[in-house]
Amino acid sequence: MGKFALITETDAISMYSPCYDGEQMHEFAKFLVSNRNHSHPQLKKFFYTILAKIRKMEECGARENLFRPEGGKIKAMPLYVELPRINRKVGKLRLYCIRISERLLILGNGGVTTVNKYEDDPFLLSCVDNLRTIEKQLRQEVKKAGTNYDDFDAVKQIIETVNI
């Protein structure tokens, strides 16, 4: 069980992150702590690109074109990183999210991947599976409330009160 922690709220977007009972940090904070000190320039570039996209969303919302699709509402960041060449042995950094709408985003966890698919990395697979479970629960709560993801106020209220 747990709750959602509010990460940031602007006129354009409200961002949350799951915080499970017994844990001191929400999932996005875990991502930041475990990935902020990479020494390799390629991973630093990925990390700062992700942070830049989140800052951009604070102004323009969670536009679909800012994410990599991972199936349904589950998305990954960054979509694109400007590098001359990506060294596959060093890997890429991914942050997984639930994009509910342009105004509602749930930031999960993620990490470095050197495989082609997140399914091939046990940690990244667990990050995505956790978000899938949350998204399924949110979808059920929204349906139970007789609304849909387009109703910002109703979905925001559900996010702020639901136990995950």
Please, are residues 93 and 50 in contact by the beta-carbon 8 Å criterion?
A: yes
The answer to whether the predicted template modeling score (pTM) of the entire model surpasses 0.85 is: yes
Per-residue pLDDT, 83: 83
**SS3 assignment for the chain:** CEEEEEEEECCCCEEEEEEECCCCCCHHHHHHHHHCCCCCHHHHHHHHHHHHHHHHHHHHCCCHHHCEECCCCEEEECCCCCCCCCCCCCCEEEEEEEECCCCEEEEEEEEEECCCCHHHCHHHHHHHHHHHHHHHHHHHHHHHCCCCCCCHHHHHHHHHHCCC
Per-residue pLDDT, 1: 84
Give dist(CA 28, CA 107) in Å, integer. Answer: 6
One digit per residue, the tens of pLDDT, for the chain of length 164 reads 899 999 999 999 999 999 999 899 999 999 999 999 999 999 999 999 999 999 999 999 999 999 999 989 999 999 888 888 889 899 999 999 999 999 999 999 999 999 989 999 999 999 999 999 999 999 999 999 999 999 999 999 999 999 99
Per-residue pLDDT, 115: 92
Strand partners, 94: 111
